[in-house]
Structure 1
Amino acid sequence: MGPEFEHPLRYEVANELHARPSPRLSAPATCIFLAFKEPEFAARRDPARDLEHLTELTARHGGPRPDPDSSHYQGRLGRHDLKWESHTEFVTYMALTPGLPIRPFDPSAAAIFPQDWQGSAPGKRVAAVMVQIDVLPDDPGEALNRIERWFVRDSLTAVWVLEESVLIAGDFRIDADGWMRFAMFVRPGVGEGRIGRIVHRLVELETYRTMSMLGLGRVRGLTARLNVIEPKLAAIVAQMTDENCPAEAVLQDLLDVSAELEAQAVSHSFRFGATKAYEAIVMDRISSLRESRFRDRQMLTEFMHRRYRPAMRTIGSAESRLTAMLERAERAGELLRTRVDVERSAQNQALLARMDRRAELQLRLQHTVEGLSVVAISYYVIGLLSYALSPVAARLAVDKGYLIAGLTPITVVVVWLAMRRVRRSLHSHGPDDGI
C-alpha cells in the first residue's frame, strides 16, 4: 500500500512512543538534573526561547545543535551525555557522567551547567537534583554508614527498589549549593537499562513533587481571599430573609461576590488541574519503583504520606471550598431571583388591578358622558325642529310650546336609540374587522 492509505499522524504518534527513552547507565556514574519553569503563564511560554537556551549550552561545549522543531534532544557534550525535554510547563536537562566526584556530591560535578548560563534561562529553576550511582558494597551496612553521613536522619528515606536490586537514599532537603541529593547503590550485574530507568523515575519523582506543590503557595493566597469573601456571602444569604432589605440591592451584592468567586475559579483552575495530574505522576513513579523496606529506615511511601500528602490535601480542600462557595452563591442567586420575580409579579398584579379600576371609572364616566350627549344632542335637534316646524304650527294654530313639549320625548328616545345602536356597532366590530 502507498502512503495515501496512511493516516497523516500515524507515524508521528508511533514515533512519539520512542522519542524519550530512558538513559542507559553503569555504576559508578553521576546524574545532574535541572528543571526550569517560567513563574507566570508557563504553559503559554514561547518554546523558541527554550531552544535558544539549549542551543547556547550545546555551542559552549561544542555539541550537535538541536532540531528547532523538536521537543526533545540527546547529544554528547564532552564527557557528558545530555538529555533535554520540553514539557507543558517546564523544560528539563539531564547530564550523565561516568564516575563519581572526589568528594560526595561535589558541586563541581555540575560544571556542565555554568552558573551564568543557568541565570540566563527563560524560566527559574524549580528542580536541581544530583544523583550519585555507585556499586553496592558486599556489606549493605557500609552503604548505610555513608548514607547516614550524607543525609539528615529525621527525613532520611532508604529503600530497596525493583526486587532489592538497587538501594536508594535521600532526605528531600536542599543543600547549601541548591541541590537535592540522592544516592543509589547498585548490585553487581544490574543492567544499564534498569539503572537508567530508576534514575529517570527518581528525578521525575522530585520534579513532579515540586511542580505539584507549587499550588500550595497559590492556595494560601486563595484561602486568605476566601476568608474575606465567605462572611460577605453569609451576610447576603441572611439578608435574603429580611423583608426590609430590597431584593434588587441584595441581588447586586450577590452578583459582585459571585463575579469575584468566578474570577478566582478561573485564575486557579489550571493550577488545580495540574496539581492533580502531577500528584498522580508522583505516586505512579513511587509505585513503579516497587520499593521494599531497608532495615528499619523510612520508605518513600511513608515519607510521602507524612510530608507530601498533607500539602496535597490542603490544595484539594481549598479547591473544594471554592467549588462549594460557587455552588452556594449560585443557589442563593436562584432563590433571590425567585424572590425578585415574585415581588415583581405582585407589583404587576397590583398595577393590573389599578388599571382595571381606572378602566371601570373610565367606563362609568363614558356612560355619564353618553347620557349628557343624548341630552345635548336632543336639545339641539329639538331646537332645529322647532324652527323647522314653526310655520306648520302657525298654520295649524298650534302653540309653539306644545309643539316643543311633544317633540321632546320623541326626540330624546330617537337620539338615545341612535346612540345605543352606534355603541353596539362599535363593540361588535373589533379593531381588525374590515382589514
Structure 2
Amino acid sequence: MREGPRRFEDHPLRSAVLNEIHARPFHMMEAPRIVLNYAFMTDAGHADAARDRLAALCIRNGLPQPAAHARHHVVDLCGGTLRWESHAEFTTYSWDARGGAGALPAETPFGEAFEAPGPLMVAARLDLVADQRPIAELLSGFDPGSLAVSEVAGGRGLIASDFREDGDGYTRLLVVDRGLEPQEAGPIVQRLLELETYRTLAMLGLPEAQRLHPELRRIEMDLVANTGRFRASEGFEANRALLDDLTAQAGDLEAGAAESAFRFGASRAYSEIVRLRLNAMDEQPIAGYSSFTAFLARRMAPAMRTCQTVEGRQQDLSRKLARAAALLRARVDVELSQQNRALLDSMNRRARLQLRLQQTVEGLSVAAISYYIVGLIGYLAKGSSVVGFELDPAHVTAFAVIPVALFVWFLVRRIRSKHNDGHGAD
C-alpha cells in the first residue's frame, strides 16, 4: 500500500507567510463601477479597535467576521463589496459598487453610523466607465492645471486625475474602459488606488523635514562657533565647558534624528511603492497631457529630495559633532593627565619632606631618650656607695653615652621597621 505524504511540524509563521502572497488579490471589475477608498492613520491600538468595529458591523448585518488577528477582510455590504486592510500605520476601507460618474450612491458603508478608526489621510473616488467620447469631453470636470492622463493596457484603457479634492472631499480618479477585460480593469483600479494612498503617505516626510530644518540650522551655526572656540580655547575648565556644549548639541541632534527616522524611512518606502505601481501600469503618454509618472515625479521628487537632504544633514552633523567631541575629549584627557602628573609630583615632594621630618624627629628622639637613660645611669652611679662600693659618676656617665645611644638608635630603627612591615602587609 502506498503511504501518504509524511507530515512534519509546521513553523509557527509558515501559514502566515504562505497566505500573505494571497492577502490582496486583484478583483475583476466591469464598467460602470464606482470605488470609494479611505485611509486612516492608526497605531496598534486603533487597528485593533477598527477590527472590532468591523466585526460588530458584520454581526449586525449577518456577515462573516474577520479573524482575531486578521489584517484584511472582504464582505458584501450596501449593494457593493467592502474591503478592509490593516497596515503598519494606517487602515484602509475600500468599497465598490455598480455605478458610473455622477452623484454618489444613496447608501454607502461610510454614513453616519461609520466610526473612523483614526485621523483621515486619504479619501479617493474612482469611476470606472465605458465611454468612447473624445478625451477632452471626458476630462471636462477636471482641473487642467494639474491634470495627468495616460493610456494603459495597450490603449484599451485611459486613466486620468487632477489630484484635487472635489466638492465631496474626494480625490477624483477616472478609468475609461475602451475594451478592457475584467481581469485587466481590476488591477488597474487597485494600482491607481494604491498610487493615491502611497503618494499621499510619502509626502508626510516633508512637514517633518520642514520642522527639523530650523533646528538643524541652529546646530550647524553652533558647531561653527564652537569649532572657532575649540581652536582658541585654553585651560581645562574652558575645554570642559566646550565639551559640555558639544555634547548637548549632539543630544539635540540625535533626539531629532530618532524622532524623524521612522517618518523618513516610511516616506522612502512609500515613494518606492509609488514608483513600482507606476511601472506596473506601463502607461503610455498622450500628446498634450502630462503622464502620471511625469506629473508625480515633478511634484513628489522635490519633497523626497528635501527629506533625503535633511536626513543626510543629520548624519553629516552627527559625524562632525562626534569628531569634534573626540578631539576635544582627547585634549581634555591630556590636560587632565598633566594635572594628575603635577599632583603626583606635589605628593612626592610632600612625601620626601615628611620623610626628612621623620628622620629629623627620629634623631632628636634618639638623643632625648639617650640623654634620659644616661642621666638615670649617672644617678645609679652616684648611689653606688649604698651597695658597698663607690663609682665615679662622671666616668660611668661618659662610658655609658655611646652604648646607650647605639642601643636606643637600634631600638628606634627596629620599631620603625616593624611599622613599615605592617603597612606593607596591609
TM-score strictly above 0.5? yes
Q: State the match for 2:65 in structure 1.
A: 66
Q: Is the 8 A contact 2:38 2:92 kept in 1?
A: yes
Q: State the match for 1:22 in structure 2.
A: 26
Give identity over the alignment, percent. 37
- Give secondary structure in 2 for the equivalent of 1:73: strand
Provide the C-alpha distance between the structure 1 equivalents of 2:319 and 2:85, rounded to a whole number of angstroms.
40
Q: State the match for 1:45 in structure 2.
A: 45
Tell me which of 126, 130, 143 is aligned to 1:131: 126
Cα–Cα, structure 1 residues 294 and 365, in superposed 2: closer, same or farther, change >3 Å? same
Q: Is the 8 A contact 1:156 1:171 kept in 2?
A: yes
Q: State the match for 1:407 in structure 2.
A: 400
Residue deviations 1:342-362, cap 9 Å, x none?
A: 222111111111110000001
Q: State the match for 1:306 in structure 2.
A: 298
- Give secondary structure in 2 for the equivalent of 1:46: helix
Provide the C-alpha distance between the structure 1 equivalents of 2:11 and 2:258, rounded to a whole number of angstroms.
37
Q: Say whether residues 1:183 and 2:179 are aligned partners.
A: no
> Aligned partner of 1:400: which letter?
P
Q: Is the 8 A contact 1:29 1:132 kept in 2?
A: yes
Q: Is the 8 A contact 1:130 1:180 kept in 2?
A: yes
Q: State the match for 2:84 in structure 1.
A: 84
> Aligned partner of 1:67: which letter?
P
Q: State the match for 1:196 in structure 2.
A: 186
Cα–Cα, structure 1 residues 97 and 358, in superposed 2: closer, same or farther, change >3 Å? same
> Aligned partner of 2:247: which letter?
L
Provide the C-alpha distance between the structure 1 equivalents of 2:116 and 2:52, rounded to a whole number of angstroms.
9
Cα–Cα, structure 1 residues 422 and 73, in superposed 2: closer, same or farther, change >3 Å? closer
Provide the C-alpha distance between the structure 2 equivalents of 1:126 and 1:167, rounded to a whole number of angstroms.
26
Q: Say whether residues 1:377 and 2:373 are aligned partners.
A: no
Q: Say whether residues 1:293 and 2:297 are aligned partners.
A: no
Tell me which of 222, 237, 255 is aligned to 1:232: 222
- Give secondary structure in 2 for the equivalent of 1:121: coil
Cα–Cα, structure 1 residues 414 and 96, in superposed 2: closer, same or farther, change >3 Å? closer
Q: State the match for 2:36 in structure 1.
A: 32
Provide the C-alpha distance between the structure 2 equivalents of 1:9 and 1:228, rounded to a whole number of angstroms.
48
- How far has the Cα of 1:380 moved from its partner? 1.3
Q: State the match for 2:359 in structure 1.
A: 367
Q: Is the 8 A contact 1:29 1:133 kept in 2?
A: yes
Matches within 5 A, 1:313-324: 313-324=305-316
Q: Is the 8 A contact 2:366 2:405 kept in 1?
A: yes
Provide the C-alpha distance between the structure 1 equivalents of 2:45 and 2:320, rounded to a whole number of angstroms.
36
Provide the C-alpha distance between the structure 2 equivalents of 1:31 and 1:425, rounded to a whole number of angstroms.
100
- Give secondary structure in 2 for the equivalent of 1:129: strand
Cα–Cα, structure 1 residues 111 and 328, in superposed 2: closer, same or farther, change >3 Å? farther
Residue deviations 1:355-409, cap 9 Å, x none?
A: 1000000111111112111211210121122123335599887643344234334
Q: State the match for 1:346 in structure 2.
A: 338
Residue deviations 1:107-128, cap 9 Å, x none?
A: x24841445346x412122111
Q: State the match for 2:321 in structure 1.
A: 329
> Aligned partner of 1:33: which letter?
N
Root-mean-square deviation (CA, aligned residues, Å) is 2.8
Provide the C-alpha distance between the structure 2 equivalents of 1:417 and 1:338, rounded to a whole number of angstroms.
53
Q: What TM-score does the superposition give when structure 1 sets the normalisation length?
A: 0.86
Q: State the match for 1:158 in structure 2.
A: 149
> Aligned partner of 1:79: which letter?
G
- How far has the Cα of 1:21 moved from its partner? 1.2
Provide the C-alpha distance between the structure 2 equivalents of 1:226 and 1:147, rounded to a whole number of angstroms.
48
Q: Is the 8 A contact 1:374 1:412 kept in 2?
A: yes
- Give secondary structure in 1 for the equivalent of 2:203: helix
Where do 5+ consecutive residues of structure 2 fail to align? none
Q: What TM-score does the superposition give when structure 2 sets the normalisation length?
A: 0.88
Where do 5+ consecutive residues of structure 1 fail to align? none
Q: Is the 8 A contact 2:150 2:159 kept in 1?
A: yes
Number of equivalences: 418
> Aligned partner of 1:264: which letter?
G
